[in-house]
Structure 1
Amino acid sequence: MRVYVLSVSSSSLKLGLAELTPPVPSVGPEAVGVSECGGPDPVQDGRLDLQMTRADLPLDPHLLNGTGLDLNRALDALEMQAAAWPPADAVVTVAAWEEPAAAVSDRSQVIYVAPEHLLQAQHDLPSGAVLGNRGLRLAIAWAMRLGVPLLTVPLPQQVELPADARETGIPGLRREPRFHVLNSEMVAREAAYDVGQRFCDAAVIAAHLGSTSSVTAYQKGKVVNSTGSGLTGGPMGLRQAGPVSPATLQRLWDSDHLQMHAGAWTEFWTGEGGLRALTGYGSVRELMAAEETDPRVQAAAAAFVHQVACAVGQQCGALTIRPDAIVLTGPLARWDGVMHRLEARLSWMAPVFVVPGDLEFEAVARAAGRGLMGWAPMHSWPRELQPA
């Protein structure tokens, strides 16, 4: 199957062609059963082989303008880029509906909009779309032009943890960690496959290391704990501060750092700390280039390795068995010297896999593919189309 993956941000328009091939069962049809995650579960937990072709569309000043969108120009640009590509079975984008068709705890949820309902969707855009109405509006219009269904994959940053993982010790206050759910789950699935396990049988620790970082424990296909990311926790990232004790928070409060509105506080915590604040370098390339000569980078790298290794060890404690694999992913996974040090620190626990880069396109495509194959929940829009 083929899907076009569309991503719209404040300053970019990106398109991907994802060609997804299901696995061929090696032991006959009896290999297909029902997974503990729900839904059919073919050999190797429904691993989809993925070939991705990407394109960053050149933007003129009028195509994307702040929150605006020249819809016809954007559609023409998409059509021109995809002209040499084979036709797709669906358009896929990241978006969240204000009233999801299923419970928020259904983290693999994909929302399906049939071609005959796209016009209604165009006139009933949700105000709660994660990327704003602009990106979803463009995806709906392009699916209409192509005459194919639209799939929207939520950009899930939060899942329902087990009760014992949510307790803080302060009555009425629960942990609600937000983290890199799509990317982490995708690489955890792949790591399970690489060690010969089905994701629904495996125990995997996935660390997403980027501008913000998170480390998450999966067991039998479910999240059992996470450090969270950004304001909800996580080790140091390129821009994210690492764990801070209540005593340090008290000192920040006393120094008036916390006397700011919520948006400024979020930017302070997830945008002004981390490796960039410690070194002055804002990219992985710059950090790697300065690693041998700049003592600030050497000290920050050591602190980063320490924090990530501790976070992985902490998440191992959330498992009831020894992990089958540990996987390190995200933009900072391109930093070879640091990844080698982490592998040396962690490989006694389990095989360590390094998957560099931000894999949002791939994660969105695989999530949509699992929904189309019937391996993960997929829900129709409008909501009243759902079977009782």
Structure 2
Amino acid sequence: MYRIFVINPGSTSTKVGLYQNEKNLVTQNIHHSTSSLATYNSVMEQLDLRIRVVNNFIENKQIDLDTLDAIVARGGLLHPIPGGTFVIDHDILDDLRTCRFGTHASNLGALIAWHFSQMLNKPAYIVDPVVVDELDDVARITGHPLLKRKSVFHALNQKAVARDAAKKIGKSYSSANLIVAHLGGGISIGAHHRGRVIDVNNALDGDGPFSPERSGTLPAGDVVKLCFSGTFSERELMDCIRGRGGLVALLGTNDMKEIRRRIAENGDAKAEMLYKAMAYQIAKYIGSMAAVLHGHVDVIVLTGGITFDDNFVKLITDFISFIAPVIVLPGEQEMQALAAGAIRVLRGEEKVKRYKENLLSI
């Protein structure tokens, strides 16, 4: 029996939990007000605040830290690495502290876990960070040598639900072919071939369907014209692509419930068209991943917060159900996935990896 402490920092929250094997004993999502975060000039400056709220959680829930077997945290923006569970070491910490590969609140996860690891003399891990890269070489190629496709996606949740779905159909993850579509503020659609995500869209600022907050694939020539129009700064254009793109730009909201209300109560034809267009684009990219897998698809998995919307799910499944059976696993399993990654290592079911030994040359 293993007891795992899980830390998952987000932009405006820190989610913490205690697991006994796969069973969640207690979880809390601690929200940070915009005003409290506004006092910090950078994400890294928030480290002491985040450690403090985790300590408060431990004290309030009377968690005996001496009973822990490991601490596990959400991984941040690192050098591209394969999937798996990585021990937190100075190489990881250095790249996250300096934000060498980008800035995001998830960079704090390993630093918080390291703090408690050193205090308790317990191992600390990260599992399947967003930079997991298992792409086939052919999937990286674009039509210009200056640009390559990147693997940036919801790796943690995608791999967790893929393992779950494979089990449901009586297969191991390492023997199954699956297409997983994570539908949230960003949307990622991955082709999982025998335990590797061999193709996936860059769900942050690259390609794929538009989403509630991101623009997805855009006409390249028109984007170039916008860049030189004199109307936008680089930051403003990046905001158009991620954060203020997608449904935010098209309808002024990222709230799918609000959009459904506009359609149902107001008969909003524009909202209905865009709602259907997003489902259409998702289905189209799922179809492209079926081609990547040569049509040999065991199951398609729809996951993420948007999949609580049965009407939206039906729009997608009407397009794709001819490809393979569809399993819907609503929401996300990040906390469970983090705990499970640590448990697999502690049980000896999976070898722990070291960051520096697994850097990918891309």
Q: Above 0.5 in TM-score?
A: yes
Structure 2 CA distance for aligned equivalents of residues 72 and 210 of structure 1: 27
Structure 2 CA distance for aligned equivalents of residues 112 and 204 of structure 1: 30
Partner secondary structure for residue 223 of structure 1? strand
Structure 2 stretches lacking a partner, 5+ long: 358-362
The sequence identity of aligned pairs, in percent, is: 26
Partner of 2:233: 260
1:31-90: CA deviations, max 9, x gaps?
xxxxxxxxxxxxxxxxxxx54632124769879953242577445403224416894321
What is the aligned counterpart of 2:26 among 36, 53, 57?
A: 53
Partner of 2:75: 95
Pairs within 5 Å for 1:300-379 = 300-379=274-353
Structure 1 CA distance for aligned equivalents of residues 52 and 228 of structure 2: 52
Q: What RMSD, in angstroms, separates the aligned Cα atoms of the two structures?
A: 3.4
Q: Give the deviation of 1:269 after TM superposition.
A: 0.2
What is the aligned counterpart of 1:159 among 133, 137, 152?
A: 133
What is the aligned counterpart of 2:261 among 281, 289, 294?
A: 289
Structure 1 CA distance for aligned equivalents of residues 58 and 295 of structure 2: 50
Which residue identity is paired with 1:282? N
Q: Give the deviation of 1:306 after TM superposition.
A: 0.6
Q: With structure 2 as the length reference, what TM-score do the two structures score?
A: 0.81
1:209-242: CA deviations, max 9, x gaps?
1111111101111122112213221211111113
Structure 1 CA distance for aligned equivalents of residues 92 and 314 of structure 2: 48
Partner secondary structure for residue 307 of structure 2? helix
1:83 is aligned to 2:56: no
Partner of 2:81: 105
Partner secondary structure for residue 200 of structure 1? helix
Structure 1 CA distance for aligned equivalents of residues 136 and 197 of structure 2: 8
Which residue identity is paired with 1:232? G
Q: With structure 1 as the length reference, what TM-score do the two structures score?
A: 0.77
Partner of 1:127: 98
Which residue identity is paired with 2:27? R
Query: Is the contact made by 2:213 and 2:243 (CA closer than 8 Å) also made in structure 1?
Result: yes
Partner secondary structure for residue 13 of structure 1? strand
Structure 1 stretches lacking a partner, 5+ long: 22-49, 384-388
Q: Give the deviation of 1:178 after TM superposition.
A: 1.6
CA distance change for structure 1 residues 52 and 252 in 2, over 3 Å: closer, same or farther? Answer: farther
Partner secondary structure for residue 288 of structure 2? helix
Query: Is the contact made by 1:192 and 1:198 (CA closer than 8 Å) also made in structure 2?
Result: yes
Partner secondary structure for residue 21 of structure 2? strand
Q: Give the deviation of 1:16 after TM superposition.
A: 1.3
1:280-334: CA deviations, max 9, x gaps?
2332332233331322321111101110010000111101342101011112112
Partner of 2:360: none
What is the aligned counterpart of 2:273 among 299, 314, 319?
A: 299
CA distance change for structure 1 residues 64 and 89 in 2, over 3 Å: closer, same or farther? Answer: farther
Query: Is the contact made by 2:179 and 2:191 (CA closer than 8 Å) also made in structure 1?
Result: yes
Partner secondary structure for residue 234 of structure 1? coil
1:186 is aligned to 2:143: no
Q: Give the deviation of 1:367 after TM superposition.
A: 2.5
1:170 is aligned to 2:150: no
